[in-house]
A and B are shown apart, each in its own frame.
Chain A
Amino acid sequence: QKEVEQDPGPLSVPEGAIVSLNCTYSNSAFQYFMWYRQYSRKGPELLMYTYSSGNKEDGRFTAQVDKSSKYISLFIRDSQPSDSATYLCAMTARGNEKLTFGTGTRLTIIP
């Protein structure tokens, strides 16, 4: 079993819809959680960074962490065609420099 599981998709939703992206993990030591967006042939771009459980909102993006369920989510409101990309979750434990990534979910927003 992988430490981090993420549905690879592809996921297609109409413009304006709310998108929900999720990752589950098995390592209870993970405390730092990140979401990256990666456009084709580009490096990943940091979208959200959260520490431990709770919610964090930034514009149209909301990140949720539920440590009791070992489950993290990224919500995108009012989705736009420019949101079409691969979304990677990443996480790590305190003092561990390495990130453990999910496989990425390919998202397409249909105009």
Chain B
Amino acid sequence: GAVVSQHPSRVICKSGTSVKIECRSLDFQATTMFWYRQFPKQSLMLMATSNEGSKATYEQGVEKDKFLINHASLTLSTLTVTSAHPEDSSFYICSAKGQGWGETQYFGPGTRLLVL
């Protein structure tokens, strides 16, 4: 149980375009989903927290207009990188938490974004 998927696993796009990344909880209802960014050989950096049906809470320094998060249902959250630039190239990972699970988060496999 507790499987989280992400799609796509890799994406290459041109500078200025927008990219959407999907995060799904496959076998549970995720009351809260989280989006992280990870640079090579570094730990995870939390970007935002989202609860189903409400606006995401962004961490300090994360541009909410650039990184649009939609948590449309209890099994789906999306991250859209708008007007992507080469500095947005990174590894994006989502995680999800189910109700009554304490504070455990289960992570997706990650999406590698390369902006040319």
Contact = CB atoms under 8 A, between A and B. Distances in A.
A interface majority secondary structure: loop
Given A44-B44, A104-B43, A99 B110 contact: no
Nearest to A95: B103
Give the bracket for the number of chain B residues in contact with chain A: 20 to 34
Contacts, number: 54
Contacts of B32: 97
B102 A51 contact: yes
A43 B107 contact: yes
A98 B102 contact: no
Q: Which of A42, A43, A88, A97 has the most CB of B within 10 A?
A: A43
B93 A43 contact: yes
Contacts of A103: 42-43
26 contacts: A34-B104, A34-B105, A36-B107, A41-B91, A41-B112, A42-B109, A43-B93, A43-B95, A43-B107, A43-B110, A44-B93, A46-B2, A46-B104, A46-B105, A49-B102, A51-B102, A88-B43, A92-B103, A94-B103, A98-B34, A98-B49, A99-B103, A101-B44, A102-B43, A103-B42, A104-B43
Interface of A: 32, 34, 36, 41-46, 49, 51, 88, 92, 94, 96-99, 101-104
